């Protein structure tokens, strides 16, 4: 038995077809836009993550650099303080010739065979007087000090008069030179002494 198929022609409305096409295009375009938007969002999120990691790494490096700079600064300040303290201590030590001579003479007076805990005086002054000159029957530290000062004063007065010398020093040098010259007459010595005295008393 043969069946006859009846095909009914479809009537297409042009307006509805156009509307359907536009609707389909909107769906496709919207879908593409959504995909593009999602991809852009993913890219933006990825870049934000990269920037955040870089920012965190830079912050950690800056913190490390700040700690290193602070440590170096503290170290430099400590070294500077130590150097200044040592230079101050060294500046308090007298190292010129008179100080060295006095220290050497003090060491000569020491008697190292004596225990300073038992007899400190003999330890410090035990060797004093052993090198006394025969012309000096009695001597002591005060006499030695006075002799040293007198020698220093005499050496100063024997020096020529300098421009930068003060008026009292110039006066004393002139008086010493006049008094030490035994060949000059008394009258000339008196004249020189008075002129120097007046010069010293000016102003």
Say if residues 196 and 174 touch (Cβ distance below 8 Å).
Answer: yes
How high is the pLDDT of residue 188? 57
Say if residues 127 and 110 touch (Cβ distance below 8 Å).
Answer: yes
How high is the pLDDT of residue 35? 57
Digits of tens for pLDDT over the chain (203 positions)?
445 444 444 454 556 556 655 656 555 555 555 555 666 676 777 777 777 888 888 888 888 888 898 998 898 898 888 888 777 665 666 777 777 777 777 777 778 888 878 777 777 777 766 665 544 555 566 666 677 777 777 777 778 888 888 877 777 777 667 666 654 555 555 566 556 656 655 55
End-to-end CA separation in angstroms for the chain: 162
Q: Could you count the other beta carbons within 10 Å of the beta carbon of residue 189?
A: 15
If we measure between CA atoms, which residue out of 121, 120, 119, 140 comes closest to residue 129? 140
Domain range list for the chain: 18-92, 94-158, 160-203
Distance of alpha carbon 129 from the chain centroid: 49
Q: Can you tell me which residue has the tokens 């700040």?
A: 66
């Amino acid at each position: 038995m043969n069946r006859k198929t009846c095909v009914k022609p479809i009537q297409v409305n042009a307006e509805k077809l156009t509307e359907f096409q536009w609707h389909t295009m909107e769906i496709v375009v919207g879908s593409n836009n959504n995909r593009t938007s999602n991809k852009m969002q993913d890219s933006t999120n990825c870049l934000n993550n990269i920037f955040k990691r870089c920012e965190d790494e830079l912050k950690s490096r800056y913190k490390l650099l700040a700690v290193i700079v602070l440590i170096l600064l503290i170290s430099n300040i400590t070294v500077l303080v130590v150097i200044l303290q040592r230079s101050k201590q060294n500046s308090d030590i007298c190292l010129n010739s008179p100080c060295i001579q006095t220290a050497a003479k003090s060491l000569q007076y020491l008697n190292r065979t004596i225990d300073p805990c038992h007899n400190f005086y003999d330890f410090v002054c035990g060797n004093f007087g052993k090198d006394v000159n025969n012309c000096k029957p009695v001597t002591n530290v005060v006499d030695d000090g006075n002799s040293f000062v007198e020698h220093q004063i005499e050496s100063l007065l024997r020096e020529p008069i300098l421009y930068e010398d003060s008026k009292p020093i110039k006066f004393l040098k002139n008086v010493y030179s006049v008094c030490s010259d035994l060949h000059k007459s008394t009258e000339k010595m008196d004249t020189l002494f008075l002129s120097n005295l007046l010069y010293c008393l000016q102003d």
